[in-house]
């Protein structure tokens, strides 16, 4: 496996190196965004869940750890609570659009590398009068590595985007529920 990879890299062109470097960067950014945002959103969800539980218990007070409480400064204004909800979700979703961008562009970057690789392979065989499939097949299969890499990156980016979007939805529900309870308690 390693020998095959080293042979592939030894026979690759500059475009292939650029494509694989870009896709590697995309993969690193994808994992970094996911790990960083996932832990931050989980902490927010836990704090808001605890705050909601305290609001629905006999205490009927905000948790001091609640981001909604910190933002609204114990205000019961519907408008202020709604603005705080939006601001918290906006802050929590920083970087998530990059996952969508990476998931949609990485297959095209990989495909670009494949097309260039196939064109280079055909250019090598242009001077030969007869070329067997056994000679063309390895060149084309090497070119397809770029597409596979692009698809692999897209799978991770799309999956992580969906996971974080779901967590943001859950955070939004906890924030809205708290706001409704505070507004209802005021009236």
Find the domain containing 26 and state its range. Answer: 16-186
Do 65 and 51 meet the contact criterion of CB atoms below 8 Å apart?
yes
Judge whether 91 lies within some domain: yes
What pTM did the predictor assign?
A: 0.85
Token pair of 123 as six digits: 């250019």
How many domains does the chain fold into?
1
Judge whether 10 lies within some domain: no
CB atoms within 10 A of CB 110: 26
Q: What is the pLDDT of residue 60?
A: 64
CB atoms within 10 A of CB 111: 16
Judge whether 104 lies within some domain: yes
Judge whether 5 lies within some domain: no
Q: pLDDT digit string (tens) for 39-80?
A: 999 999 999 999 888 888 866 677 778 888 888 887 778 899
**What Cα–Cα distance (Å) separates residue 117 from each residue in 12, 25, 91, 145?**
8, 20, 42, 10
Judge whether 39 lies within some domain: yes
Q: What is the pLDDT of residue 127?
A: 79
Q: pLDDT digit string (tens) for 162-179?
A: 999 999 999 999 999 998
Judge whether 140 lies within some domain: yes
Q: What is the pLDDT of residue 70?
A: 85
Q: pLDDT digit string (tens) for 114-134?
A: 898 888 888 877 777 787 777
Judge whether 8 lies within some domain: no
Could you give the CA distance from residue 12 to residue 69 in angstroms, rounded to a whole number?
57
Judge whether 4 lies within some domain: no
Which among 86, 45, 51 is positioned nearest to 65, based on CA atoms? 51
């Amino acid at each position: 496996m390693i020998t095959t990879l080293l042979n592939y890299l030894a026979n690759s062109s500059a475009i292939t190196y650029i494509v694989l470097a870009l896709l590697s960067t995309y993969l690193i950014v994808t994992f970094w965004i996911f790990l960083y945002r996932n832990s931050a959103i989980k902490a927010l969800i836990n704090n808001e869940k605890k705050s909601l539980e305290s609001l629905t218990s006999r205490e009927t007070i905000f948790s001091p750890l609640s981001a909604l409480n910190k933002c609204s400064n114990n205000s019961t204004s519907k408008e202020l609570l709604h603005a705080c909800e939006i601001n918290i979700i906006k802050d929590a979703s920083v970087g998530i659009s990059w996952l969508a961008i990476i998931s949609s562009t990485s297959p095209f970057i990989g495909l670009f590398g494949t097309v260039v690789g196939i064109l280079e392979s055909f250019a090598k065989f242009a001077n030969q009068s007869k070329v067997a499939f056994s000679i063309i097949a390895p060149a084309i299969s090497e070119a397809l590595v770029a597409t596979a890499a692009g698809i692999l990156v897209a799978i991770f980016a799309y999956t992580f985007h969906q996971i974080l979007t779901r967590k943001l939805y859950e955070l939004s529900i906890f924030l809205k529920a708290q706001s409704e309870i505070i507004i209802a308690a005021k009236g």
